[in-house]
Structure 1
Amino acid sequence: MLIFLYLYFLHIFMFHTNPARVLKKRSKVIFMTGVIVALVTLLISLLFPLQYRADAQVLIISQSRYGVDPYTVVRSAERVGQNISQVVKTTDFFEKVVEQRQLGLDTSRFENVPELTRRQRWEKTIDASVVFGTGVLNVSAYHTNQEQARRYATAAVTALVEKGWEYVGGDVTIKVVNDAVVSKLPVRPNLLLNTVLGFLVGAAAMAAISLRKKNVL
């Protein structure tokens, strides 16, 4: 959307002589439209549950073989991490996480729902990504409650340490290097980003309307 608007206005300023004067004259209207759209976007975003994120990191250690250089070892660990980042979203891994009842996980949103719904909710709850050029895997968990987000992230990395060998084999060791830390503010939806985008889209749309009314286009 923003790319389209950028190309749209680039075309206007390249082939027309007076768009800047029109935009300056209508600047207050353009600004107020942007503010209104930004506020509407913010209100819509607030209708969705606000979720916190907890992050924990594990180190993937590939057993070094004789004659293998360190770079190859790190690349191997990175590939293993990429595989694990897909595995954490599966039903099998979900079961390994929720069976850790000692952590006090709130599993109510996964209960008494169809399998497809449970899978979709789990995919939105957990995420993992490899830190480029390393064997470090960042595991993130999302929840409307800060403590529950931390517990889910803790349960996920614990499951990887204790049972991750089922996915990667016995030649790989997984070790927790950073315990779960939860964000102080909600990260979903991204209220700041949505508000800024709403302002830009609203202002750009009104600017386009103003130029068209003045027969600049």
Structure 2
Amino acid sequence: MFHSPLSRILQGSKILVALGLVTAILAAGVTLLFPLEYRADAGVLIISQSRYGVDPYTVVKSAERIADNIVQVMGTDDFYEKVKQQDGYTINWNVFDTLDARKKRNAWQKGVQGSVVYGTGVLNISAYSTDPEQAKDLAGAAADTLVSKGWQYVGGDVTLQVVNHPVVTKWPVRPNIFTNAVLGFAVGVLLGALVVTRR
């Protein structure tokens, strides 16, 4: 008797769910083998000095372009050194300084990241660390560095101001255990479906 692939999948639904759960658990388990990192977020407002007759929309778009440039600058060695010189924060710089130049730059670019909130002129700063306090201090130091020395990158016609002080996530966000478990479940179900339909 001929059974369509759909009917076979429905008949083997218990197998599919079981395989999905197994792969989800395996994916979550593998995720736990990697260091779990917290994230701290801070916000800096970019204020472009508007000239007479310039409409607000143009001012905001100008701030967004400046923010895009700053996001690129944040991953540079120069910005790293400026953040390192920022007073008032207790940061374990050995995490970066013990690495060779290329690995150090990659670690910095993964550890501190910027993103633009379009339509607002706000630049979000996200810092990651296995220690929540380190993440908070990194985000705070990066934000304060932009406020005090950001003019060196964007010129004197721009003002930067911290509008959101660093706040740390309650739980680790990277790698994402829940997302990996869901993906693992989906992969398990797909593999199970292939097995069931080929029987």
Return the TM-score normalized by structure 1. Answer: 0.89
Q: Distance in 2 between matches of 1:86 and 1:208?
A: 44
CA separation of 1:32 and 1:171: change in aligned 2, threshold 3 A: same
Query: What is the deviation of 1:111?
Result: 2.0
Counterparts of residues 42-121 of structure 1 (less than 5 Å): 42-121=28-107
Task: Please say which of residues 157-166 and 200-209 is displaced more in the overlay.
Answer: 200-209
Task: Please say which of residues 104-113 and 148-157 is displaced more in the overlay.
Answer: 104-113
Query: What is the deviation of 1:17?
Result: 7.4
Report sequence identity in percent.
52
Counterparts of residues 194-213 of structure 1 (less than 5 Å): 194-213=180-199
Q: Distance in 2 between matches of 1:162 and 1:99?
A: 11
Quote the residue 2:126 is aligned against: 140
**Number of positions where the alignment pairs a residue of Structure 1 with one of Structure 2:** 198
Q: Distance in 1 between matches of 2:5 and 2:31?
A: 33
Q: Distance in 1 between matches of 2:163 and 2:88?
A: 21
Q: Distance in 2 between matches of 1:141 and 1:183?
A: 11
Q: Distance in 1 between matches of 2:61 and 2:97?
A: 39
Query: What is the deviation of 1:100?
Result: 2.1
Equivalent of 2:148 in 154, 157, 162? 162
Query: What is the deviation of 1:36?
Result: 0.6
Query: What is the deviation of 1:19?
Result: 2.0
Q: Secondary structure at the match of 2:45?
A: strand
Quote the residue 1:190 is aligned against: 176
Q: Distance in 2 between matches of 1:137 and 1:111?
A: 27
Q: Distance in 2 between matches of 1:17 and 1:25?
A: 10
Q: Distance in 2 between matches of 1:142 and 1:201?
A: 29
Q: Distance in 2 between matches of 1:172 and 1:58?
A: 12
Aligned letter for 2:114? A
Return the TM-score normalized by structure 2. Answer: 0.96
- Structure 1 unmatched ranges of 5 or more: 1-15
Deviations 1:57-77 (A, max 9, x none): 010000000111110000000
Q: Distance in 2 between matches of 1:182 and 1:196?
A: 25
